[in-house]
Structure 1
Amino acid sequence: MEKQAGQDQMVWKKWKGKLWLQLIGGKIRKFLLGMGENDGFVFKLVIYLLLIGIGFIYLYPVLFMLVNSFMSLDDLVNSMVKWIPTSIYTENYEKAIRVLDYRSTLMKTVLAAGTPALLQTVSCAIVGYGFARFDFPCKKILFVLMLATFVIPPQITMMPTYLLFKHYNLIGSLQTFIYPAIVGQGLKSTLFILIYYQFFRKMPVALEEAAELDGAGSLKIFYRLAIPMAGPAIIIVFLFSFVWYWNETYLAGMYFGNSLTILPLELQQFADSYSRMFPPGSPGSQINEAIKLAGTLLTIGPLLVVYFLLQRWFVEGIDRSGITGE
C-alpha cells in the first residue's frame, strides 16, 4: 500500500508539473500573441516599431531644419556639432525675415491661398451635393467629364487658360485664382467634389424627407441640414485646398507676374534676394545653409500651425467621409 501511494504521489507530482508548465506557457503565449489578432505584445511591438520608423522618416527633415537653422557659421563648419548647437543663434531668422519681407509677404500669401480655398470649399460643396442628392439628365456623362478633368494633365490646359486670362486682362491679379475657384474649377477641385459627393451620399434620406414635410426647399435643406452635417468634410477640403494654393508656385509665378508674390516664390529666389540685400563686402554678406533653412521654416511654419489647430477635425473628417478607401 505504501509503495502504491508513493507511486501515485510521484505521478501526481508529474501531472502537477505539467499542468503548471501548460498554465505558464498559456499565459506567456497569451501575453506574446494575445487572444485575438491584434492584442498581443509581439503585434503591438511590431506596430509601434513601424510607426516610430515611419514617424522618424517624416520628422527627420523638420528636426534637421529646426536644429540647423539655429546654428551659427562656426557650428555649421564644426564637425563635432551635430544635433545640439553650442548656442541658440537667432540672427539667421532675423536675416531671413528681412530677405523674405516676411510680414508683408505672409499677409499676401494668406490672402492668395485663403481666398480661393474658401471659395473653392463652398463651390465644390454645391457641386458635390448636386451630384449626390439629385437626378437630372446626363448626370452620369457630366460626372465622367468632371472626373476627366482630374485625369488630364494640367500642363495641357495651362496655356489655353493663360491666354483666356490674358484676353480678359486678369494676368497680374488674384482673380486668376478666384474665378476658377468660384465655379468649382480651382486646384484639385475634382478631388474635393468627390469628397463631398462621398459624404453627402451617406446622408439619411429620411432626414431630407422630414425636412420636405416641414416645408423646406432644396436650398434650405442644403444650408440648414447638409452643410452642418458636412463639417468634417469642409475641414478636409479647406485644409487641402489651402495647402495646395499655398505651395503652388508655377501657376502663381505665371499668373501673378511681378504684381503679387507669395512666400514659396520668395523662397525660390531667396539666394538672389539675399545677395541684393547684403552685397558682397558688407557685414554678414555670406549666405549659409542655416539662413536658408530658417527661410524654409518660416515658409512652412504657418501650414504646420494650421494643421495642428485642425488636426482633430481633420482626422475625424477622414474617418467619417471614407476617402481613404476611394
Structure 2
Amino acid sequence: MWKRQTMDTAIKIRKLMFGMGENDGYVFKALVYLLLIAIGFVYLYPVLFMLVNSFMSLDDLLNSMIKWVPSTLYIENYTKSWRVLDYGNTLMQTILVAGLPALLQTISCGIIGYGFAKFEFPFKKLLFLLMLATFIIPSQITMMPTYLLFKKYALLGSLETFIYPALLGQGLKSALFILIFYQFFKTIPTVLEEAAEIDGAGSFKIFYRIAVPMSVPAIIIVFLFSFVWYWNETYLAGLYFGNELTILPLELQRFTDSYNKVYPPGSPGSQLNEAVRLAGTLLTIVPLLILYFVLQRWFVEGVERSGITGE
C-alpha cells in the first residue's frame, strides 16, 4: 500500500513537472517563459537604453557610476532636439508623406488583390508572376529610370512622386501587399458572393459591401506596414523631394548639421552629446509606437488571418 501511494505521488509530481499527453509541465513552461523573456529583452534593450540615456545630463553621461538611473530627469535634451528637428512642422510633413501614399496604396492593392483572387482573365498566372517579380527586383535598378521619368514630367520636389506609384499599385512593397490581400480574399466563401449575385448585386457592390467589411484586419496590417515603410524611406525622399519636403528620419540623418545651425559653436548649450541624439531618435519613433499600440489588436488579427507568417 505504501509503495503504491509512493508511486502515485511520483507520477503526479512527474506529471506536474514534465507534463503528460497534451498538457505541458512546469519545466517546459518555465523554459518557454525564459526564452520569451530573453528574446523580449534583446528587442527592448535598445529602446530602454535610449529612453534612460535621453534623460541624462552631460555630467551623468560622464559619470561611470550612473548606468540606468539618472540623477535627475534632464528634459533639456528633448527641448534641444525639438528645436533642431523643427518637430511640429516636420512631424506634420512626415504624417502627410507617409499617410497619404499609404492610404492610396492600401486602396489600390486591395482592388488588385481582389481582382486576382476572384476573377478569371487571360494570362492571369503570368501577370501574377510578373507582379511578384517586382518585389524581387532591387529598387536601385529602377531608381534612376523613375527619377528621370519624374523629372521629365516636372514632378520632382512634390509629394506626387510618392502618390502616383501608390495609386497605380507600384508603391513601396506593393507586390507584398497585393499578395496579402490576394490570400485574404481567397478565404472569403464563394457562397456569399453567389448569394449577393442572386440578390442582383454586381461585382463592384459585392466588393465594397462584402469583401471590404470582411477584410478590415488585412486593410489595417497593409496600411500599417505601408505607413512605416514610407515613414522610414529616407533615400527616395531625399532623392525626389529635395528641399521642398522633409521627413523626421531624414532630419535625423542631418541632425549634426542642423544642431550646429541652431546652436552655433561657442554659444550657450552648443555642445552636442549622445543624450541629445538619443532624445531626437526617440522623438522620431514615438509616433510609430503610438500608432502600433492603437492598432495592435487588429494588427495581430491581420497577421493571423492574412497568412503573412507563411502558415
TM-score in terms of structure 2 length: 0.99
Confirm or deny: 8 A CA contact 1:38 1:44 kept in the other structure: no
The alpha-carbon deviation at position 37 of structure 1 amounts to 4.4
The AA in structure 2 aligned to 1:294 is: A
**2: distance between equivalents of 1:239 and 1:259?**
25
The answer on 1:65 being equivalent to 2:45 is: no
Deviation at 1:42, TM superposition (A): 1.2
Query: In the alignment, what sits opposite 1:285?
Result: 270
| In 2: Cα distance, 1:123 partner to 1:201 partner | 17
1:124 aligns with 2:88: no
Q: What are the Cα deviations for residues 133-192 of structure 1, in whole angstroms up to 9, with x where unaligned?
A: 000001011001001101111111111011000000000000000000000000000000
* Correspondence for 1:8: none
Aligned counterpart in structure 1 of residue 237 of structure 2, from 230, 247, 252: 252
Q: Could you tell me which amino acid in structure 1 is paired with residue 171 of structure 2?
A: G
Aligned-partner residue type, residue 292 of structure 2: Y
Identical amino acids, percent of aligned pairs: 74
Superposed displacement of residue 46, structure 1:
1.0
The alignment partner of 1:21 has SS state of helix
1:113-141 CA distances to partner (integer Å, 9 max, x unpaired)?
Answer: 00000000000000000000000001011
* Partners of 2:21 and 2:298 in 1: CA distance: 31
Aligned length: 311
Whole-angstrom CA distance in 2 between matches of 1:22 and 1:231:
55
> Which amino acid is 1:191 matched to?
L
* Structure-1-length-normalised TM-score: 0.94
Q: Which residue of 1 aligns with 2:215?
A: 230
Give the secondary-structure state (helix, strand or coil) at the position aligned to 2:295: helix
**Contact 1:106/1:263 (<8 A) preserved:** yes
Distance 1:142 1:44, change over 3 A: same
Unaligned runs of 5+ in 2: none
Is 2:127 the counterpart of 1:145? Answer: no
Residue 33 of structure 1 and its aligned partner are, at CA, apart by: 1.4
How far does residue 38 in structure 1 lie from its aligned partner after superposition?
5.3
Report the residue type matching 1:298 in the other structure. Answer: L
Residues 24-39 of structure 1: matches in 2 within 5 Å?
24-37=9-22, 39=24
What does 1:173-212 align with in structure 2 at a 5 Å threshold? 173-212=158-197
Larger radius of gyration: 1
Q: Which of 109, 115, 118 is equivalent to 2:100?
A: 115
1:27-57 per-position Cα deviation (integer Å, ceiling 9, x unaligned): 1111011123452111111110110000000
269, 287, 299: which one pairs with 2:254?
A: 269
**Two-structure CA RMSD over aligned residues (Å):** 0.8
Deviation sequence 1:295-324 (CA, Å, 0-9, x none): 000000000000000001100111112221
